[in-house]
Every structure is written in structure tokens, then in C-alpha cells.
Structure 1
Amino acid sequence: MELKKGSNRFYIIDGNNEIGEVTFTEDQPSVLSINHTYVDPKYRGQHIAQKLIQAVVDLAISEQKQVSPICSYAKVSFERNQEYQRIQYRS
């Protein structure tokens, strides 16, 4: 499995198959909004969605931005991870 970066998204491929993705927008300068996370049902339970969210968090940290978790999975991830909360955007 390999993590790749696309335009406003990260995705994971297994061979030639895309098995998961997270998409985000930059609605405001310095805020990445995670609006969609998906993992192929055959690959669920392997922490793939967590790796995708972490990729957006790492990008935000490297670019000194905050993250707004919009989709349900991102919201839960940010609630459960104290480290994520330090870069969470709060309006």
C-alpha cells in the first residue's frame, strides 16, 4: 500500500487499485477543511482512514495551517486525538 498526494486530497493505492481517500479544501487562508474520508469496505479495520487524516494533519503542520474537521470521521478523529486538537480550527 502506498500513500499519494493529489490535488486537495491524499489517497492510498494497493497495486493499481485506489482503496481510500481523504479530500480537503482551503476555504480560508491557513485553514484546511477535511470534507470527505472513504476507505473501500474490503480494507476497513486496517487504520487506513487514520493514515489519511494524519497525512492532512502533517501537511497542515508543515504549512503552519489549522484543520477544520467537517466529515464525520474527521470529527471523531479530532475528538479522540489530543495532538490534533492543537491545530484544530475553531471559529
Structure 2
Amino acid sequence: MIEVKQFDRESKGFFKATEEEVEAGRMTYSWVNNDRIIIDHTEVNPAFRGKSVGNLMVQAAVEFARKAGIKIIPLCPFAKSVFDKTPDYHDVL
């Protein structure tokens, strides 16, 4: 089972997807003030392509944004495409 964890630092952070301690993917972001993040890059390990790893990381970012009361700016083309296709995520844009 793929697990997604968040690693947040002062001005940047990332979501890391793993399965049995193998990194399946990583999605990086930067903070803008204290009320929004910019998702700037999503990368999936080729061995995990087709397993919705990228979607799981975007979902984790949306859950984080909702809990923290912040907004997301998806500059990463992959993340932007997920937001474009998922109206349920538009509340955090």
C-alpha cells in the first residue's frame, strides 16, 4: 500500500509517497506568506507509474490545505491537470 507523508520546512516542503520503504514519488512546494503554497514539481518513480502516485500526493496536499485553512497554487503542470479535472479540489485554489 502506498503511503504519503508530508515534510514541511520553513519556506519549502514536500509530500513523499512510499511503498515498503521504496520512494514512489515526491511533490515539492514553496510557502507564499502563511496562507498558501505553490506546488512546483511532481515526480514519480518509473517503477510506480500507472499506480496513481501523483494523484495520491495531490490529494494529500488538498487534505493538508483544508486542515490548515490555506490555498494552493498548482504551477506544476501535472498538479494543475489534476486540479482542472477534479472540481472537488477547487475550494483550495
For 2:83 and 2:51, the matched residues in 1 are separated by 19
RMSD of aligned residue pairs (Cα, Å): 1.1
Identity over aligned pairs, percent? 26
| Contiguous gaps of at least 5 residues in structure 1 | none
Cα deviation 1:14-45 (Å, max 9, x = unaligned): 22321201111112321111111111111111
Where do 5+ consecutive residues of structure 2 fail to align? none
2:7 is the alignment partner of 1:6:
yes
Matched with 2:24 is 19
SS at match of 1:52: helix
TM-score, structure 2 length as denominator?
0.87
More moved, 8-17 vs 41-50: 8-17
Question: Structure 1 stretch 21-30 or stretch 49-58: which is displaced more?
Answer: 21-30
2:58 alignment partner AA: I
Q: TM-score of the superposition, structure 1-length normalised?
A: 0.88
CA distance in structure 2 between the partners assigned to 1:62 and 1:28 by the alignment: 17
CA distance in 2, matches of 1:4, 1:46: 17
Query: What is the rounded CA distance, in whole Å, between the counterparts of 1:80 and 1:2 in structure 2?
Result: 23
Match of 1:65 in 2: 70
Secondary structure of 2:92's partner?
coil
Q: Is 2:38 aligned against 1:37?
A: no
